[in-house]
Structure 1
Amino acid sequence: MEKDAGGRKQEAAPAPVASKAQREAAAAGVSVTEWLQHVKASFLGLVRKVTARSEQEAAEADMRAAKAQVEATDEAEARKKQLADH
């Protein structure tokens, strides 16, 4: 509770509902984007692994797919944190 200029107590206005709904929708969009990036990385990793000419190329394909998935997760977490901070 805060006091206004006249000395009367006022309750602080709650955050606008639309703003919260927009942040939640944006976070959901980030999650969907993250999921799509994971699917893309998995698919490309599988294609690279199948077309690999050696065991080493297959291992590199697995590593690149895992790295892409980790990067997608890190990016999504950073975006969600940024949304939560605003």
Structure 2
Amino acid sequence: MEEGNRKDGSKMIEMKKGLVSLTASLEEGLQDAKASVTGLVKKATAKNEQEASEADLQTAKMQVEAADAAENKKKQLQKI
């Protein structure tokens, strides 16, 4: 019976890891979408070329941060 419990526990851990990984990916997608919309709005309301360029840079930075955060969560899962 103990072997069956270990298998069930192992499956549960894998399911939890999968769920956390999925959540991290979804969160990354939402943050990426938010960055894109924010960047488009800032670019559309920019008064000059410099503000438009800054909006593009901020969008790229937010997207990279979202990807990094998701990747860090997934790496933490691998350590478990």
| TM-score (structure 2 length as normaliser) | 0.88
Task: Note if 1:38 corresponds to 2:36.
Answer: no
Which structure is larger by alpha-carbon Rg, 1 or 2?
1
Flag as ranges the 4+ runs of structure 1 deviating above 2 A.
none
Q: Name the structure where strand makes up a greater proportion of residues.
A: 1
Instruction: Give secondary structure in 2 for the equivalent of 1:29.
Output: helix
CA distance in 2, matches of 1:76, 1:45: 20
RMSD of aligned alpha carbons: 1.1
C-alpha distance in 2, partners of 1:20/1:71?
A: 26
The normalised TM-score by structure 1 is 0.82
Gaps of 5+ in 2: 1-5
Which structure carries more helix by proportion? 2
Using CA pairs below 8 Å that are at least 6 residues apart, which structure has the higher relative contact order? 2
C-alpha distance in 2, partners of 1:18/1:32?
A: 21
Give the superposition deviation at 1:30.
0.4
Q: How far, CA to CA, are the matches of 1:30 and 1:77 in structure 2?
A: 8
1:78 to partner: Cα distance: 0.6
Deviation at residue 16 of structure 1 after TM alignment: 1.1
Aligned length: 74
Cα distance in 2 for residues equivalent to 1:25 and 1:35: 15
Match of 1:20 in 2: 14
Aligned residue number for residue 9 of structure 1: none
Question: CA–CA distance in 1 between the matches of 2:35 and 2:19?
Answer: 24
